[in-house]
């Protein structure tokens, strides 16, 4: 088993962050060493897009597959590459993926150079819970999460005024059915656009004014 040494990872349980989306407040792991496995590109697609559970003997290779510099902490994780992309996955005790990270650009290129000499291995796994968040920017993802929370809060409290306000800003029209307003607004969040950003800015501006 091949190890990659001395890299930085930014594991996320939700949005898979590109290296240029990393922020100074993120919990960055300084990895002392982590195991590397080369897989087929179709498998790589699944590993990126889905929650996966490893079912074959690779579980033993994943177990204790990553060591951190800090406190010499050991975790069940592994680097995967298809020769074109590199992905780090953190697993729980059932070998189900719970967080993922991309690499910094230079470190990814180094891993890809190494991957040219590796053979592709087969993987047995099951996949669940596809997340369509890959192509959202970090800001779009934060806006999506915030608006989802605000809509759920308004729906739970039966806050007709707030839901109507958001609905009229987004659809430029009225809808008297509270249930329909909520469903239509919730469905609109499948793709974040300029109207969502405008509503987010207005709601957060009002919230900040109330705090001040």
Which pLDDT tens digit goes with each residue over 38-69?
999 999 989 988 899 999 999 999 999 999 99
Please state the domain count of the chain. 2
| Per-residue CA distances from 101 to 17, 118, 160, 181 (Å) | 7, 21, 40, 36
Residues 28 and 111 in one domain: yes
State pLDDT tens for residues 90-149: 999 999 999 999 999 999 999 999 999 999 999 999 998 765 555 677 788 888 888 988
- Asked if residue 212 has pLDDT above 50, the reply is no
> Which domain does 195 fall in, by range?
138-211
- Domain final position from 106, 128, 150: 128
pLDDT of residue 144: 87
pLDDT of residue 110: 95
Other beta carbons within 10 angstroms of residue 146's beta carbon come to 16
- Asked if residue 193 has pLDDT above 70, the reply is yes
pLDDT of residue 20: 83
How far apart are the C-alpha atoms of 167 and 176, rounded to whole Å? 10
Average pLDDT over residues 145-160: 90
Residues 165 and 144 in one domain: yes
Residues 55 and 121 in one domain: yes
189 located within any domain: yes
Residues 168 and 85 in one domain: no
Residues 116 and 188 in one domain: no
State pLDDT tens for residues 7-38: 999 998 888 888 888 988 899 999 999 999 99
CA within 13 Å, CB half, 11: 18
Mark out the alpha helices in 27-74 (DSSP H runs).
41-49, 58-62
Q: Which residues pair with 36 in a beta bridge?
A: 2, 79
The model carries a pTM of 0.69
Residues 27 and 101 in one domain: yes
25 located within any domain: yes
158 located within any domain: yes
Residues 145 and 95 in one domain: no
Residues 60 and 106 in one domain: yes
31 located within any domain: yes
How far apart are the C-alpha atoms of 88 and 102, rounded to whole Å? 6
133 located within any domain: no
- Domain final position from 75, 110, 128: 128
Task: Report the number of secondary-structure helices (H) and strands (E) in the chain.
Answer: 7, 9
- Domain final position from 81, 107, 128: 128
């Amino acid at each position: 088993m091949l190890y990659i040494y001395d890299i930085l990872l930014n594991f996320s349980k939700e949005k898979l962050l590109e290296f240029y989306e990393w922020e100074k407040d993120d919990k960055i792991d300084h990895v002392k060493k982590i195991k590397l496995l080369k897989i087929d590109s179709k498998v790589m697609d699944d590993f990126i897009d889905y929650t996966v559970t490893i079912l074959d003997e690779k579980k033993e290779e994943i177990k204790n597959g990553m060591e951190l510099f800090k406190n010499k902490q050991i975790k069940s994780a592994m680097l995967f590459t298809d020769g074109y992309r590199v992905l780090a996955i953190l697993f729980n005790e059932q070998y189900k993926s719970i967080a993922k990270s991309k690499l910094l650009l230079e470190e990814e290129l180094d891993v890809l150079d190494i991957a040219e000499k590796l053979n592709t291995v087969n993987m047995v796994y099951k996949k669940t819970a596809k997340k369509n968040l890959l192509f959202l920017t970090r800001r779009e993802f934060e806006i999506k999460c915030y608006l989802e929370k605000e809509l759920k809060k308004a729906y739970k409290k039966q806050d007709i005024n707030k839901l109507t306000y958001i609905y009229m800003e987004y659809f430029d029209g009225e809808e008297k059915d509270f249930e329909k307003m909520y469903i239509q607004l919730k469905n609109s969040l499948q793709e974040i656009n300029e109207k969502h950003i405008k509503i987010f800015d207005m709601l957060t501006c009002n919230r900040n004014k109330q705090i001040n």
